Structures are given as C-alpha cells and as structure tokens.
Amino acid sequence: MFTGLVDHCGRIVSTGPSGSGRALRIESRFTDFVLGESIACDGVCLTVESWTAGAFTVTAGDETLRVTTLGAKHAGDTVHLERALRVGDRLGGHLVQGHVDGVGEVMAIIPGATWTRVDIAVPAELARYIATKGSVTVDGVSLTVNQVHDAGALHTFSVGLVPHTLAVTRFGGLSVGTRVNIETDLLARYAERLAAFPPNEPSVTVDLLHRAGF
C-alpha cells in the first residue's frame, strides 16, 4: 500500500526481456532495500529482486506491460518512486494500491498564476470511478480531481499541479500527448461491487454457515 506521495525520480539504467515480462534496472537514492519489498514505479507496485548501492532491479510481468506505460520505457527515462507505506506513517495522500487500472493521455496543460491545470483523457471504463473532489493517482502521484468532463465518447478530468508537485516530480516537463498510468480510487471500485448485489441477498459466508448447522 502507498500514499501517492512521490519520494524522488529514479532513472532507468537498462531494460531487457525477463520471461514474458521485462526487467528494469533503476538508479535510486534509496540505499537500504530489503529483497522482496514492494516499490511503486510510476504508480506500479513492483518487487525488488536485487539491489546494489544506487540501483535496484524489478520485473514487470506481461499483464503489467499490457495495462501500464512501463513497456514503453527505455534507458535514460525517469520514473516516480515511492516505497511502501509503513504502519504509523502519515497518510498525506490517499490509499494507493499500486494496481494501475489503465492508461490516460494528457490533453491540455494550462499554466496559472499559482498552479498548473492538466486535463487528462481516460477510457469510459475508468471515467466512471473518477469524481469531482475525489482522489486519483497519475503516474504514482496522488492528486485531487478538480472537474470531470464527459462529452460523448470523450471522458476527461482536470487536476491542479502546485509548484511543489512540479518541482519534485517530472510533471514540470509534461507535454500534451503524454501517456500516464491511472489508478482510480479504491473505495469507488468497492462501492460499485457492493452495489451490484441485492441488499437482501445472503452472503456466501452466511450460506456456508447455515449449511454447516450454525
């Protein structure tokens, strides 16, 4: 579990095939990894498979490559890095799983006096979970949705990037057409799942207990 508060940007040193997936070696200022721990790379939860001073290696599986932008990354590209949340840490962003739902595309960048507005288009199957004043994760960064726009088949949402976010992420160099990883709010997905069941329908657990004689 993560919070969407990026620690720093790591630089991809090398990439290469790993079974049906892709291995990435990433330079980082983290120096105390534990093998097998989770780390979010551009919002994607991956497992640290090896590390040395200054760099670590992870592998993105075929499903991860299918639904994220990691398959298009090359040596020299940067990724947002965040280590997993520890019990007792401050939850400054929102609850982020690192399970990317899909990819969005930057449609507009509008600089302002104190913050920059960014409009991002997403597929309809993701737009349903994105609501005004709700939370969304973009390339691993926790952001607040300012507005949503649905115009026919085009679904977009707007976020505001404050100077600090622009300074500590690579969003300062964002451009129209950039593809970004999107993770929608965990609570929205669970709410939809719960709403799919009639309120009086007994749960599987209750049914099994009845069958067992309880």
- Per-residue pLDDT of 159-177, as tens digits, reads 999 999 999 999 999 999 9
The CA distance from 175 to 74, in Å, is 18
pLDDT at 116 over 80: yes
Strand segments, DSSP code E, in 65-131 are 78-83, 102-111, 116-122
Residues 6+ apart with CB under 8 A from 213: none
Binned at pLDDT 50, 70 and 90, residue 89 comes out as confident
Sign of CA dihedral 129, 130, 133, 136: positive
The CA distance from 10 to 137, in Å, is 18
Quick one: 130 exposed, middle or buried, by C-beta within 10 A (0-12, 13-18, 19+)? Answer: buried
Helical segments of the chain, H only:
62-67, 124-127, 163-168, 186-195, 204-211
Binned at pLDDT 50, 70 and 90, residue 191 comes out as confident
In 3D space, the residue among 55, 57, 54, 45 whose CA is nearest the CA of residue 83 turns out to be 45
pLDDT at 7: 94
**What's the whole-number mean pLDDT along residues 73-98?**
93
Quick one: 143 exposed, middle or buried, by C-beta within 10 A (0-12, 13-18, 19+)? Answer: buried
Quick one: 70 exposed, middle or buried, by C-beta within 10 A (0-12, 13-18, 19+)? Answer: buried
pLDDT, mean over the chain: 92
Per-residue model confidence as pLDDT tens digits over 14-52: 999 999 999 999 999 998 899 999 999 999 999 999 999
pLDDT at 195: 85
In 3D space, the residue among 113, 146, 104, 129 whose CA is nearest the CA of residue 188 turns out to be 129
List, in order of start, the domains of the chain with CATH numbers. Answer: 8-83 (2.40.30.20), 102-195 (2.40.30.20)
**Residue 154 bridge partners (DSSP):** 151
